[in-house]
Structure 1
Amino acid sequence: MTTTLECRGVTAGYLKERPCVRDVDLTLAAGEITCLLGPNGAGKTTLLETLAGLLPHTGGAIEVEGAPVRSGRPRDAVRAGMVLVPDDRALFRQLSTKQNLLLAVPERSRRSSALKQVLQYFPALEKRLSVDAGRLSGGEQQMLAIGRAILQRPSVLLIDELSMGLAPVIVTEILEVLRRLATAEGTSVLLVEQHVHLALGSADRAAVLVHGRIADRDSAAALRADPGRVERAYLGTDAA
């Protein structure tokens, strides 16, 4: 399959002398969902912020579709096709749902079709277009954040803590949308998720990040079939 994102030896953190992410190699394929697992403090959010250009990497290289992405340049990352949905969703709470979506569509001629596209993925938002984002439920806010990201036509969609504060039925619905998006658009999805079984049941591939390093990686099906393997990776013991 076509590679969209490739990280080679990526090292990053908030203090150069104390990296949170160390020598990470990660490859994403077009049309696949990859879940990034790991305990709290493992460096998952740091890695996503580094990929999105919000943090500079102090070592290694990041490429999207074979082209290098400059370190610490979020605009370059977006231009390359990477879009991040952060764990706080980064919505403009005093703007309506519709206004939040249209911020991602500068071309006026495309706005009508763009809204239809999002509502096809998230029909629950149709009756909430005039409602301020701050008044939406947690599930609706996550749908809005992902919908806005979709309108930026990402080749790589990064989602941090998808299920935070959400009911399992809503998470399942959103995961089904991400599968449709990956299949229809060839988008690569990198998903940080704490609910291991839910994530492995929806993803194609998975990697476990522990203490800033990849402790194990495989197909999601292989890791789902051996729960002890994931547990051993979390505990830092040999997963082999």
Structure 2
Amino acid sequence: MSVLSCENLDAGHTRRSPCVRGLDLSLSEGEIVALLGPNGAGKTTLLMTLAGLLPRLGGSVLLAGEQLGSGNTRAAVRRGLVLVPDDRALFKKLSVAQNLRLAIRGRGPTARSSIDEVLQYFPALEARLNLAAGQLSGGEQQMLAIGRALVQRPKVLLIDELSMGLAPVVVESILGVLRNVASSEGTAVMLVEQHVRLALGIADRAVVLVHGHVSLEDDATVLSNDVGRIERAYLGQSGGDSRPQAV
């Protein structure tokens, strides 16, 4: 069942020069889609538009079959769509526990249960609960950012540049958690990732975006056995200077 779908979506900062043009894309319940592409392809713009941080320039976005309003982040979150941005957007002076509690709607036993679930996914955070978020390592900060999204129990989780500045072993661990969340909770995940092989290892499907258009879309397992197709998709429209990283 499609939980998120874009139809003829135009996205960007100005109507004169949209970064994403006429995009059709869907995301199913429990599915992980790796959104790949060279720098400047429109990946971050797409996620920001879906999350309501940028107004749509055209087209429509459906969440669970209903139209999602344009440029309204609060409405998107209330409907179950949550973005983890590339800068993680943590409250650096607040503790890990405070960052998690701020993201929870409601209080009482349900809130405690939500935090306990996050700690099960990311046990490294349990000993850090009273530590300021700004004092965490890069990997721990990413765990907290994703944990803060998970306590909101999203239907759709968008993650931008998950691996930025992190060691591959940390990225692998976090990707494993996302696979678990998608499979056990039915959460749909779209992640922007430059480490192609790591992303393909846990994704169900990969989409390559080049100059705002889908250049390639296929089953992740199929593409992991022929990564050259991804490289050709990058090079076919990007001038040959933006090869996928860590292929």
Query: For this structure pair, what is the TM-score category when the shorter chain's length is used for normalisation?
Result: over 0.9
Match of 1:75 in 2: 74
RMSD: 0.8
Which amino acid is the alignment partner of residue 45 of structure 1?
T
Which amino acid is the alignment partner of residue 42 of structure 1?
A
| Secondary structure at 2:118 match in 1 | helix
Match of 1:174 in 2: 174
Cα distance in 2 for residues equivalent to 1:233 and 1:207? 10
Match of 1:18 in 2: 17
1:11-63 CA-to-partner distances (Å, cap 9, x unmatched) read 01111100011111111011111000000111100000000011011111100
Match of 1:86 in 2: 85
Cα distance in 1 for residues equivalent to 2:105 and 2:220? 37
Q: Is the 8 A contact 2:105 2:152 kept in 1?
A: no
Shift of 1:236: 2.3
Shift of 1:202: 1.3
Match of 2:155 in 1: 155
Match of 1:192 in 2: 192
Match of 2:229 in 1: 229
Match of 1:100 in 2: 99
Q: Is it true that 1:146 corresponds to 2:120 in the alignment? A: no
Cα distance in 2 for residues equivalent to 1:119 and 1:165? 23
1:145-195 CA-to-partner distances (Å, cap 9, x unmatched) read 000000111000000000000011110000110011001110000000011
Q: Is it true that 1:38 corresponds to 2:34 in the alignment? A: no
Cα distance in 1 for residues equivalent to 2:136 and 2:70? 35
Equivalenced residues, count = 236
Cα distance in 1 for residues equivalent to 2:79 and 2:7? 17
TM-score by length of 2: 0.94
% identity of equivalent residues: 63
What is the correspondence of 1:110-129 to structure 2 with a 5 Å cutoff? Answer: 110-129=110-129
Shift of 1:77: 1.1
Shift of 1:76: 1.5
Cα distance in 1 for residues equivalent to 2:111 and 2:62? 30
Which amino acid is the alignment partner of residue 47 of structure 2?
L
Moved over 3 A (4+): none
**Stretches of structure 1 lacking an aligned partner (at least 5 in a row):** none
Match of 2:245 in 1: none
1:111-145 CA-to-partner distances (Å, cap 9, x unmatched) read 22121111011000000000000000000000000
| Secondary structure at 2:57 match in 1 | strand
Q: Is the 8 A contact 2:51 2:76 kept in 1?
A: yes
Match of 1:165 in 2: 165
Shift of 1:204: 0.4
Cα distance in 2 for residues equivalent to 1:176 and 1:58? 35
Cα distance in 2 for residues equivalent to 1:84 and 1:26? 17
TM-score by length of 1: 0.96
Shift of 1:106: 3.5
